Amino acid sequence: MSNLGLVLGALVVVLISSLWRGLVYLIWRTFAITKRFRKQGVGGPCGKFWSGSLEEIRSMKKAGRKLILDINSHDITPRVLPHYLKWMSQYGQTFLYWFGPHPMICITDPELAKQVLSNKFGFFPKVTPIPSILALVGKGLSLTQGAEWVRHRHVVSPAFTMDKLKTMTNKMAACAQSMLERWQDLATQAEGQREMEVSSQLQELTSDVISHTAFGSSYVEGKEVFQAQKELQTLAAESLLNVNIPGYQYLPSRRNLHRWKLERRVRNTLMHIIQGRLDSKDSSYGNDLLGLMMESCRSDPGQERKGQLLSMNEIMDECKTFFFVGQETTSHLLTWTVFLLCTNQEWQERLREEVLRECGTGIPNADMLSKLKLVTMVLLEALRLYGPVVMMQRMAAKDMTLGNLVIPKDTRLVIPIAIIHRNKEVWGADADEFNPLRFKNGISKAAKHPNALLAFSIGPRACIGQNFAMLEAKTVIAMILQRFSLSLSPNYIHAPADMFFLQPQYGLPILLRPLNV
């Protein structure tokens, strides 16, 4: 036999033996982990080899998306988490299922969720992101871990202090004002009442706000990024329920080619925005988010910490993160709040009275907004019932004890926020109802557990933009209520869908009536 034949033969043997060992490992691991949980009294669906329960999840979610809810029903779980509802009724609150080759344990007890989320030693890190999510948000703050995350958070945090946020109110209000002027024109053309799909309007508005406040640009300038990210979001959402095959992302498939093209578009537009700052004649890059990141990229030997804190590539990734999460999340919070105000006219009136009392009819400032107690309560109730983030995931970095359970290393933990937010034992018998007054004594007193509201998460990885989002939402809601009366269009279909974030599947058409007509 020639040398080449020997080498090829050896390669084939190595390949077959690795495959065999991988197969044995997978089968043995599935069996061992399932047995370990069964012994602790945790059951769950068996699932299939390799794909686990993915097929069942897909078919239940598909059926869920066909459900149309009554507009007064706030229980979105049969649409967005139908598999959890089914398995909870079969196996109890805590159960094990397999997502492809990954064991997943569902945590619905707010105390256990708190222990996972507030672990300061990094023993419950985030799950390694799939390539399509990395393409969408980059390896920015939300996806980094350990020392890398500390470094990123250190650079980014100063852009979100309360003092900084207060100074952004003017910009937020200016963006809202220009959207509302367009609404006014449309209503005038329609001679009074006008039907309008409001969720896309609010998405454009929040894109404009994040562009102005964090990047010193505008929606128009960043439009290419937002549009490309929308397409990347669709690609990512489509691959969420697929088993990730390592290496597949490098193959020049049609899908990957399309993804690469979109990634290039995002990168080029961001580079253009960054270049604008580099070309500026000022000695500093400014103190908005982009400016702070770019300062941290300068190598300054005079500083206590020599060298760069963030590289240009890391800045690029942070830009992707903030462009995306900075607008998507808040726009959906605004959309659902408008929906709730349309379906609860008495609350709409109460809020308008409060806004006119505290802010008059002019542009509200940060001090005025801080007095809007009822508006805050309604926003919190919107976050409870229609929080944009439906669930979170973590994994066990080593064998961990959680309550009475031992969680084996590499098990993934799912925290289904939408289910925890509706637990009647935690929130009371009216958990499925819209009752903003539950927040009258603050978030920690609204439920039986002080950390039951998880819309922004808790612990060290809690949302860095939560105060920004709340300030923006208050500004926009106050300014809408000053100018318009809102009611639901008869064309609205109540179909909340988890398309990465919770949003109305068919948009939110409303009837808009200017108050001065």
Which listed residue (132, 203, 269, 321) binds ligand HEM by CB under 6 A?
321
Residues 12 and 156: their CA atoms lie apart, in Å, by 50
Q: Kindly state the tokens that stand for 169.
A: 């109110």
- Out of 113, 173, 333, 407, which residue is the one contacting ligand HEM (CB under 6 A)? 333
Alpha helices in 45-138 (DSSP H): 54-64, 77-80, 82-91, 110-117, 131-137
**Shortest approach of ligand HEM to residue 74 CB, angstroms?**
17
CB of 467 to ligand HEM, least distance (A): 9
Is residue 153 part of the contact set for ligand HEM (CB under 6 A)?
yes
Closest distance to ligand HEM from the beta carbon of 316 (Å): 15
CB of 232 to ligand HEM, least distance (A): 17
For residue 100, the minimal CB distance to ligand HEM (Å) is: 19
Total number of residues that touch ligand HEM (CB under 6 A): 23
Nearest approach in angstroms of CB 455 to ligand HEM is 5
- Report the distance separating Cα 285 and Cα 399, nearest Å: 46
Residue among 60 and 382 whose Cβ is closer to ligand HEM? 382
Structure tokens of 381? 């109730």
110 binds ligand HEM (CB under 6 A): no
Q: Which residues contact 241 (CB under 8 A, 6 or more apart)?
A: 54, 57, 58, 61
Residue number, 465 or 514, with CB nearest to ligand HEM: 465
Could you tell me which stretch among 39-47, 243-251, 458-466, 509-517 binds ligand HEM (CB under 6 A)? 458-466
Beta bridge partners of 402: 405
Applying CB under 6 A, the span of 28-36, 85-93, 263-271, 464-472 interacting with ligand HEM comes to 464-472
- DSSP annotation of 129: P
Instruction: Report how far residue 331's alpha carbon sits from residue 17's, in angstroms, rounded to the nearest whole number.
Output: 52
Q: Does 326 bind ligand HEM (CB under 6 A)?
A: yes
Residues 329, 501 contacting (CB under 8 angstroms)? yes
| Residue 342 marked in a binding site | no
Question: Of the two residues 216 and 387, which places its CB atom closer to ligand HEM in the complex?
Answer: 387
Residues numbered 368 to 407 that lie near ligand HEM (CB under 6 A) are 387-389, 392
In angstroms, give the least distance from the CB of 390 to ligand HEM: 10
> Looking at 239, 249, 330, 485, which residue binds ligand HEM (CB under 6 A)?
330
Shortest Å, Cβ 160 to ligand HEM:
7
Residue 34 Cβ vs ligand HEM, minimum distance, rounded to whole Å: 26
User: Are the CB atoms for 199 and 504 separated by under 8 Å?
Assistant: yes
Choices 55-63, 67-75, 450-458, 490-498 (CB under 6 A): range interacting with ligand HEM: 450-458
Contacting ligand HEM (CB under 6 A), which of 30, 207, 217, 329?
Answer: 329
Closer to ligand HEM at the Cβ: 466 or 487?
466
80: its two tokens = 């967005």
Q: Which of residues 118-147 bind ligand HEM (CB under 6 A)?
A: 141-142
How crowded is the C-beta side of 48, counted as CA atoms within 13 Å? 7
- Report the chain's terminal Cα–Cα distance, integer Å: 93
Burial pattern 243-278, b for ≥16 Cβ within 10 A else e, equals ebeeeebeeeeeebeebeebbebbbebbeebbeebe
For position 463 contacting ligand HEM by CB under 6 A, the verdict is yes
Nearer to ligand HEM, 397 or 406 (CB): 397
Is the Cα torsion angle 263, 266, 271, 274 positive or negative in sign? Answer: negative
List the one residue from 183, 219, 468, 500 that touches ligand HEM (CB under 6 A).
Answer: 468
State which residue has the least CB distance to ligand HEM: 465
> Quick one: which segment of 22-30, 41-49, 247-255, 465-473 binds ligand HEM (CB under 6 A)?
465-473
Which residues, other chains included, contact 135 with Cβ-Cβ below 8 Å and sequence gap of 6+? 232, 235, 236, 259, 262, 263
String of DSSP letters for 131-191: HHHHHHH-SSTTT--HHHHHHHHHHHGGGGSHHHHHHHHHHHHHHHHHHHHHHHHHHHHTT
| Cβ proximity of 157 and 462 under 8 Å | no
Give the up-direction half-sphere exposure of residue 346: CA atoms within 13 A in the CB hemisphere.
Answer: 3
CB closer to ligand HEM out of 116 and 479: 116
User: Which residue among 216, 436, 465, 507 contacts ligand HEM (CB under 6 A)?
Assistant: 465
Q: Kindly indicate which of the ranges 69-77, 356-364, 397-405, 462-470 contains the residues binding ligand HEM, using the contact rule CB under 6 A.
A: 462-470
Please report where in the chains the tokens 């937010």 appear, as a residue. Answer: 421
Q: What does DSSP assign to residue 249? A: G
Among 325, 385, 407, 512, binds ligand HEM (CB under 6 A): 325
| β pairing state of 102-106 and 412-415 | parallel
Q: Minimum distance from CB of 496 to ligand HEM (Å)?
A: 14
CB of 332 to ligand HEM, least distance (A): 7
Place of tokens 């499925």: 432
455 binds ligand HEM (CB under 6 A): yes
Contact 97, 87 (CB under 8 A): yes
Q: Which is nearer to ligand HEM, 339 or 468 (CB)?
A: 468
Segment (H or E) for 288: none
Annotated binding site: 463
Positions that interact with ligand HEM (CB under 6 A) = 141-142, 153, 321-322, 325-326, 329-330, 333, 387-389, 392, 455-457, 461, 463-465, 468-469
Known binding residues for heme: 463
